[in-house]
């Protein structure tokens, strides 16, 4: 890799270099988020832990540019970085109530 001597750059060249660096960093972050995103499918159960809160579970409902949208079990929507997600176990589904054995009387 070629070394760049920034001491010899003009202010305009430094500003241009800064813009190019920032754009490259954004591209790398976007690519990393995209790779992380593809590990999960729409409709998949996921979990994450926001700062200062307990774990939150929900269903991945949408891919965004840098994040995914998770619809939680209590109906809230969260935009979450895919790097913070992990797969969640399927929710325990209560068995449907069984009908008591009834005898029809005439």
Q: Where are the domains of the chain?
A: 9-87
> How many C-beta atoms lie closer than 10 Å to residue 95's C-beta?
6
Whole-structure pTM value: 0.63
95, pLDDT greater than 70: no
Of the pLDDT bands very low, low, confident and very high (cuts 50, 70, 90), residue 35 is confident
> Above 60 in pLDDT, residue 1?
yes
Question: Dihedral through CA 83, CA 45, CA 35, CA 22, nearest 10?
Answer: -40
Please tell us whether the domain made up of 9-87 is placed in CATH 1.10.3720.10: no
């Amino acid at each position: 890799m070629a070394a760049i001597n920034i001491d010899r750059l003009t202010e305009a060249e430094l500003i241009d270099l800064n813009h190019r660096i920032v754009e490259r960093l954004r591209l790398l972050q976007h690519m990393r988020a995209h790779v992380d995103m593809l590990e999960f499918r729409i409709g998949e159960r996921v979990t994450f832990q926001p700062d200062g809160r307990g774990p939150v579970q929900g269903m991945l409902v949408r891919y965004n540019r840098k994040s995914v949208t998770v619809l939680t079990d209590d109906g809230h929507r969260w935009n979450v970085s895919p790097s913070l997600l992990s797969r969640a176990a399927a929710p325990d589904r209560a068995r449907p109530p069984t009908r008591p054995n009834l005898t029809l009387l005439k």
